Amino acid sequence: MSAETPSIFSKIIDREIPADIVAETDDLIAIRDINPQAELHLLVIPKSADFRDVVELAEEPELLAKVVKMAGDLARQYADGEFRLVFNTGAAAGQSVFHVHAHVLAGPTLDEGKLV
């Protein structure tokens, strides 16, 4: 990944393009999705561009756990604490940015899009 063109998320992390940043740590950044699919739709993104998807991120369980923890913190801060955490993995599953990110979806109409 790092040898490829920087992802849109790397450009956001590097402040080359703007985003609505809701949280940031040394390892992670969280932004509002530009095309929200729920009342609350955030993306929690590891700053490292070394992981294409959540399967690769699972090689670093501590970092994966930080993503989950930040998702929970943000769902409590911006919604009622209940949320759906989605990692699209592979183009056929809807992944369009190959720099791992978690979708944090919350809000009263979420059950209308129930997947299972």
Binding flag, residue 97, ligand 5GP (CB under 6 A) = yes
**What percent of the chain is helix, strand and coil (3-state, nearest 5)?**
30, 20, 50
Q: How far is the CB of 73 from ligand 5GP (least distance, A)?
A: 19
Q: Give every CB contact of residue 36 below 8 A, 6+ residues apart in sequence.
A: none
Q: How far is the CB of 18 from ligand 5GP (least distance, A)?
A: 8
Q: Which residues are catalytic?
A: 101
Binding flag, residue 21, ligand 5GP (CB under 6 A) = no
What is the 8-class DSSP label of residue 96?
A: -
Binding flag, residue 34, ligand 5GP (CB under 6 A) = yes
